[in-house]
Structure 1
Amino acid sequence: MKNNNKINKINNDSNDNNDNAINRLIVIQNHLSPGSIDLARERENPGFDVQKMKWLFNGGKEMFEALEEAYKIIQRDPELYIPGGHPFDMTLKEQRELVMKQILRYQKTRQALKNDPLLCRALELTMCTYSEAFWMRVYVHDTLFCQAFEMFGTKEQYDKWIDDILNWRIIGCFAMTELAHSSFLRGLETTATYDKTTEEFIINSPTLESTKIWIGMAGQTATHTVALCQTIIDNINYGINWFVVPLRDVQTGKPLPGIIVGDLGSKYGRHGLDNGWIQFCHKRVPREYMLMKWSKVTFEGVFIPSPNPALSYITLIGERFYVLYGAQSALGQALTIACRYGCIRRQGVNNEQIMDYQSHYVNLMPGVASVYVINVLYRVIVNQWNQATKLAQTNQSEFLKKINDFHAISSGLKATLTWWGSEVLERVRRSMGGHAYSAYNAIGPAIADWGVTTTGAGDNFVLLQQTVKYLLDTFKNIVIQGEEGKGKKIGSSVVYLNDFQKYMKITQCNLSNENQLYDLDFTLDIFTWLVIHKLNEAQATSSLWNDNQMSLIKLAELHTWRLALYEYNQELKNLSKSNYNNSNINNTNNDNNNNEEYQKLLPIFYKMGQLWSIHLIHTNLHLFLEIDDGGDDSNNYYFNKNQIKMIKNIYLKMCKETRKIVIPLVDAWGFPDFVLKAPFGRYDGDIYAAYFNTIKAAPNCFGVPNYWNDYIKPFTNPY
């Protein structure tokens, strides 16, 4: 018996020792990388194929693999890769030089890859994702400047300039906004006065207020600009048109005679982009430097107007649509960082993951859902716009019919998306506490970059007024003047006005159970009801525009979000098996073998759409309660008390369900660590060691400051 007790004791001691050894290993592992275990657990059983979602989110398997290859090219190239991995310690001068160095290397690399157009496109997208300042410089030249010739120039003008533009032998900028004028383009003051004797236009800035300002690439780089000017002939103003104006000597970089140009200096963000200002001092350019695809001036000085004044703005339409891509990129990166951090950071009595606090995940999950919605919406809208712009070359009359609608869509989307982007980035900042104030975690710079390069509050108001004016004009023509029901139907962004009377007859929502709120058609119907009734209110007071400006702006915002829900819902239907080839989500032509796999991802896209649509309804509940049939009883409102409770409950429930798979959801966006540039966003979860190593590598982290003897020592050693 004594021997048996001894053996049992030895066995117990052995088991205890094994348990202690395992526990010690766990402690050591947690000490070395406490976040790795948390993120590994978050990635277990996501309920969908994350790799397939990466393909679908990024335009198909072939495109995603090209993006991965492009990221490798950047990371391995010492001239494309940012020294030290981030630009946060670089001076303004160093950032400017770095970005131009990247552009030069990028152009050479793209030339070497010219036989692989897919990889060329992937390199463009990845570089723009990697460096916001690079993106803006390249975008100003390759898109704004180049498209000005495509959209406003004659074939002869386009052919004359395009080779130099594409090869960067001249570098262009886009001179529209002025010191005292921005979105109200008709109020611009810069003049282009035609001199018949020399067949030249004299470009002039007649006032200080007419100084072209906030012009990307003008500060240090651009050799040419396309400038929007008032066209003056024989003292008669014929309105705004676009003119090509040389700015700098292409050999020396010095400003040409008649040009005063300067840099804007330090900004809130994107120091790698040389925003600048331009003043024209009676600068003469040949008559052929007026871009004359639509409006023309003959050598005798006869002005031939364009068929539609809105044609002066068409380059801005495409520019505004690219805010969707910018939002997807900026918000996607910020939310990836915040969500990974939120699942690693532990706090509280029981050392919980902060992501498990309701106040935390409800704050972030709508943003995650919105990135999926924006991803789909961007591809749908840009595809529609690309199809429309082809008509400018083949069927101009048909193209002109579409301009006003696209102008209203682009104005609404730019305003609503920039406001929402600012909201999400601020939510992310708050969710990360004090650590978000460190530039090394990329959130502060993201907020600064977003603020510098998107439209400010004042301009957003102007943009939304353009959207609501189009909406009210269409409403007046179709509904009030009795065209509805007489065979005339409208489409595109205002298609729902065809059903105006149907929605006006609905007084109460038929919501009876929570499951209805998972139906995107049902929630779209609810939101459409709100927009219709707000539109009906607005048209009655629109004559007093300024007194009702805020409600009109809100109507434009609601109308725009309704469009987003509609297009997203329609695209998910296109992604169904029968309509797969009509989908905009998958851009490749050789992915038919993956159709069945992509179908398995549809529930995730539906889940994201469900959360986003219920978020919009939940956020705007107060607006529903502003509309009733004139009585004081709560039964007169569209929603009753039980329905409101149901909406709030399902909103919290959807946020909680999304939180459970949030790490796979953000992983699927496919941002590499070196692109995120944030230790707290590391894929492997080893955030604290990476962050502390970054801090220790910061300039002047150690040592005595150079001002010690002059300004500190007099305190500490006054004698």
Structure 2
Amino acid sequence: MSKKNIALDRLTTIQNHISNQPQPTGPIDLSRERENASFSVKHMNWLFWGNKEFAEALQDAYLIIQRDPDLYFPGGHPFDLTIPEQREFTMKQIFRYRQLRKSLKNPLLLKALALAMCMYSESFNMKIYVHDDLFLQSFQLFGTAEQYDAYIDDILNWKIIGCFAMTELGHGSFLRGLETTATYDRETDEFIIHSPTLTATKVWIGMAGQTATHTIAICQTIIDGKKCGTNWFIVQLRDKKTGKLMPGVTAGDLGAKYGRNGLDNGWIQFSHIRIPRTNMMMKWAKVTKEGKYIPSINPAISYSTLIGERLSVLGTAISTCGQMLTIACRYGCVRRQGANDEQIMEYQSHHVRLMPCVASTYVIGIVNRMIINKWEGIMKLTQTNQEEFVSYLPDMHAISSGLKATLTWWGCEVLERVRRSMGGYAYSSYNNIGGAIGDWGVVTTGGGDNFVLIQQTARYLLGSLKQVSQGKKITGTVEFLNDIQQILSFTKSTLSDERQLLNLDYTLEIYTWLLTGEEERWNDNQVYLIKLGELYSYRFTLSEYIIGIKGYSTISQFKELVPILNKLGNLWAIHLIHDSLGLFLEEGYFNGEQAKMIKKCYLKLCKEIRKECIPLVDSWGFPDFILKAPLGKYDGDVYPAFLNTIKAAPDCIGVPSYWEKYIKNLTNPK
């Protein structure tokens, strides 16, 4: 402990003796925690956000938001707004954000402002994402050059506002089962868009409830009574001037949700709407004026726009889980209780619950940047080499499906651990935990319970195993299966020393063995198929993380961070192994002593990471106004902040409006 902190402790002790009111220890506790860092928090912040320049631009973006009365919440707490008020405030933020984009010329600052606003407001995040990513990306992926040129200016400048109509009341991501139809009328050279059944209603469509003027709708293409496959169509929903629904369109809002109530998720029904044939997106599949259907070179292209959508979950996980873990870790180091008035973070049951979550956020953060860069590179091939683009789709579809499923499940687990760690305070909306759980719940609804997604991943893996068994070489994220015979030749673990577990390449080999074992069992049981897809997805994150941190060892300003990054990776890897110990023991790969060694190492690493948990969450750099939680304040003076927040709540003090009508008639009957 530094001389400065010793002096502060003595001063606090004296103050407590001479005052009737105990002095807050939170600021001192967090100051002491920050001295435990074995690394530069500033450099870690640069690494976490990609580089120094972007991390600094992000700080500038935070200042822009706080200083702008149309972006920044004006007073009180956003959780006190009604749903209509949240909708209006979110749209005001978007309007102001669009103005700023025209005035700010620095591309890096523009990118940072977009990210900062998405972290500040999940509703803003999704409204921007639906238009700027899903809607725009549909034109990039499926539109011809002529269609792209015709719409791109209106899209980029929000002269039209778009949404993405895929999910139906009775159908999710199984595109072949969708019921909305696009029937070609050869006489008028038009498609007729129709919702023939109740279950064909498009539902959970972001911005369809009140905002969107246009949609990209996926429909069953019908020519001469024959289904030709699913394709994407441009359909206008609302008049751009009046906001009224177009003839033949019935659409409404979904109402209250667990979270993101500033976002108007909606439903759409089409009743024999006629659109020009040229409103079919025809980069890949085409319909001629004569009614001839020319299919795409690969049916998987229909799913390609979903790859980016599924990968976006990684970024959302970093923001949502990172913010909530910052709140929980700071609170855990400020809150004291027990016979010795200890920080609750000191209790093993507390830090073992949270530290793997902190480690996973670092792993996902680094992997996210790597895989997004890869996907953006693949996307460029749609303009230069379409055959090569198509060759990447099966692998990217499999890993994006697996990552969305596993990381939404893991995100739910992280938020539940945070909720429990916060005790009763988690039930106050003002600490943002419930709001984050609600927002994350809205994120995960697209795939139901994600079983369909993870089974797609598992089938891809099984197909790859079959190719290897036939003597074929495979590439991509399943390339490791080329060595399956060598992997399976080790029927027992060689683990004999705890130091082996601190080698990421060694733990990756352990996890790879579990993934490739017992192929016949995977084929016979759907439950194991789900587990197979989960193991594959986690193996991918671990293998990519290893590649990522090895790259940082060659960058001068990040070299010092490699030891703590290794330790975080070790904890995540051992968490994965620890979580699957039952399977390892069932297969006889580990014996009882080895399992005990893994558990001991797991607890030890959790305790070591706990010592640096505050510097680690500080490195993410979420300002207090982004966190929106008095119990997560950077300075640690949390209790006055929480009390002041609840005192500012509407109608906190005073006689309720129903006193005279009900309470008075009980307490003072006539």
* TM category, shorter: over 0.9
**Residue 428 of structure 2 aligns with which residue?**
438
Who is 2:517 aligned against? 533
- Matches of 1:212 and 1:341, distance apart in 2: 42
- Contact in 1 for aligned 2:521/2:528 (Cα 8 Å): no
Is 1:557 paired with 2:534? yes
In structure 2, how many angstroms separate the alpha carbons of the residues matched to 1:292 and 1:472?
33
Change (3 A) 1:137 1:20: closer
How far apart are residue 30 of structure 1 and its match? 8.8
Question: Residues 139-538 of structure 1 correspond to what in structure 2 (within 5 A)?
Answer: 139-455=129-445, 458-479=448-469, 481-483=470-472, 489-535=473-519, 537-538=521-522
8 A Cα contact 2:366 2:545, kept in partner: yes
Deviates more, 1:451-460 or 1:294-303: 451-460
1:642 maps to a residue whose letter is E
Q: Shift in Å at residue 454 of structure 1? A: 1.8
Residue 216 of structure 2 aligns to a residue whose secondary structure is strand
User: Alignment partner for residue 59 of structure 2, among 51, 59, 68?
Assistant: 68
Map of 2:94 onto structure 1: 103
In the alignment, what sits opposite 1:53?
A: 44
* Deviation digits for residues 231-252 of structure 1 (CA, Å, limit 9, x no counterpart): 0011010010000000000000
Give the letter for the 2:149 counterpart. D
Residues 177 and 214, structure 1, Cα contact 8 Å, conserved in 2: yes
The number of equivalent residue pairs is 661
SS at match of 2:182: strand
Q: CA deviation at 1:473?
A: 1.0
- The separation in 1 between residues aligned to 2:303 and 2:584, in whole angstroms, is 35
Preserved contact between residue 201 and residue 284 of structure 1 (Cα < 8 Å):
yes
1:569 paired residue number: 546
- Mapped to 2, the partners of 1:457 and 1:603 lie a distance apart of 37
Gaps of 5+ in 1: 1-18, 484-488, 542-547, 578-594, 628-636
8 Å CA contact 1:85–1:677 kept in 2: the answer is: no
Paired residue type of 2:653: F
**Residue in 2 that maps onto 1:632:** none
Given the superposition, is the C-alpha separation of residues 625 and 45 from structure 1 closer, same or farther in structure 2, using an over 3 Å criterion?
A: closer
Task: Provide the secondary structure at the position in 2 that maps to 1:232.
Answer: strand
1:608 and 2:568 aligned: yes
Q: Answer yes or no: is 1:692 the counterpart of 2:669.
A: no
Q: Deviations over 1:209-266 (max 9, x none)?
A: 1000000000000000000000001101001000000000000000010100100111
Is contact 2:71-2:97 (8 Å) kept? yes
Measure how far apart 1:447 and its partner are: 0.3
Contact 1:179–1:210 (Cα < 8 Å) also in 2: yes
**Deviation, structure 1 residue 491:** 2.2
| 1:166 partner letter | L
In the alignment, the residues of structure 2 paired with residue 283 and residue 173 of structure 1 have an alpha-carbon distance, to the nearest angstrom, of 17
**C-alpha displacement of 1:474:** 1.3
Q: Which amino acid aligns with 1:663?
A: I
| Offset from partner CA, 1:267-310 (integer Å, 9 cap, x none) | 11110000000000001100110000000001111100000001
Taking a change above 3 Å as real, the CA distance of residues 396 and 257 of structure 1, as seen in their structure-2 partners, is same
Q: Which has the larger radius of gyration?
A: 1
Alignment-mate amino acid for residue 625 of structure 2: F
What is the match of residue 629 of structure 2?
678
Report deviation, 1:84: 2.1
Matching residue's letter, 1:60: N
**Closer/same/farther in 2, CA of residues 30 and 457 from structure 1, 3 Å limit:** farther
Q: Is the Cα–Cα contact under 8 Å of residues 241 and 290 in structure 1 kept in the other structure?
A: yes
Counterpart mapping for 1:21-100 below 5 A: 23-25=13-15, 31-84=22-75, 86-100=77-91
Letter in 1 for 2:224: D
8 Å CA contact 1:71–1:123 kept in 2: the answer is: yes
Q: Which among 119, 125, 133 is matched to residue 115 of structure 2?
A: 125
Q: Distance in 1 between matches of 2:112 and 2:365?
A: 16
SS at match of 1:338: helix
Secondary structure, aligned partner of 2:234:
strand
Q: Distance in 1 between matches of 2:293 and 2:477?
A: 34
Deviations 1:439-472 (A, max 9, x none): 0000010001100122467440000011011111
Give me the whole-angstrom Cα distance separating, in 1, the residues matched to 2:20 and 2:475.
Answer: 60
More displaced, 460-469 or 26-35?
A: 26-35
Equivalent residue in structure 2 for 1:658, among 590, 609, 616: 609
- Whole-angstrom distance in 2 between the partners of 1:431 and 1:20: 30
Q: Structure 2: how far apart are the matches of 1:225 and 1:160? A: 15
CA distance in 2, matches of 1:258, 1:460: 33
List per-residue Cα deviations over 1:40-86 (Å, max 9, x = no partner): 00011411000111111111111111000000000000000012264
Q: Shift of residue 718 of structure 1? A: 1.1
Q: Which runs of no fewer than 5 residues in structure 2 stay unpaired?
A: 1-8
Paired residue secondary structure (2:450): helix
**Shift of residue 26 of structure 1?**
5.9
Q: Is the 8 A contact 2:16 2:23 kept in 1?
A: no
Contact 2:179 2:196 in 1 (8 A): yes
Structure 1 counterpart of 2:666, one-letter code: F
> Does the 8 Å contact 1:46/1:661 carry over to 2?
yes
- CA, structure 1 residues 29+116, in 2 after alignment: closer, same or farther (shift >3 Å)? farther
Q: Is the 8 A contact 2:172 2:447 kept in 1?
A: no
Q: Distance in 2 between matches of 1:238 and 1:308?
A: 14
Paired-residue identity, %: 63
- Residue 5 of structure 1 is matched in structure 2 by none
Q: Distance in 2 between matches of 1:610 and 1:240?
A: 45
Structure 1: distance between partners of 2:368 and 2:12: 50
1:88 match: secondary structure = helix
Matched with 1:625 is: 585
- Inter-partner Cα distance in structure 1 for 2:450 and 2:110: 34
Separation in 2 of the partners of 1:378 and 1:410? 11
SS at 2:586's partner residue? Answer: coil
Cα distance, 1:678 vs. partner?
A: 0.1
Question: Matched residues in 2 for 1:208 and 1:368: separation?
Answer: 44
Cα offset for 1:184? Answer: 1.2
Which amino acid in 1 is paired with 2:619? A
Contact 1:183 1:459 in 2 (8 A): no
Q: Using the TM superposition, give the Cα deviation of residue 166 of structure 1 relative to its aligned residue in structure 2, in angstroms.
A: 0.3
Over residues 74-118 of structure 1, what are the superposed CA-to-partner deviations in whole Å (9 max), with x where a residue is unaligned?
0000000012264100000000000000000000011100x2111
Q: Secondary structure of the residue that 1:600 maps to in structure 2?
A: helix
What is the deviation of 1:626? 2.1
Contact preservation (8 Å) 1:535, 1:555 = no
1:277 is paired with a residue of what secondary structure?
A: strand
Question: Which residue identity lines up with residue 539 of structure 2 in the other structure?
Answer: R
Q: Secondary structure at the match of 1:625?
A: helix
1:677 maps to a residue whose letter is K
Residue number in structure 1 paired with 2:6: none
- Aligned with 1:213: secondary structure? strand
Distance (Å, rounded) in 1 between the aligned partners of 2:242 and 2:20: 59
Deviations 1:586-625 (A, max 9, x none): xxxxxxxxx3221001111111100000000001000112
- Write the distance in 1 (CA, Å) between the matches of 2:628 and 2:125: 16
TM-score scaled by length of structure 1: 0.90
> 1-side partners of 2:317 and 2:13: how far apart?
45
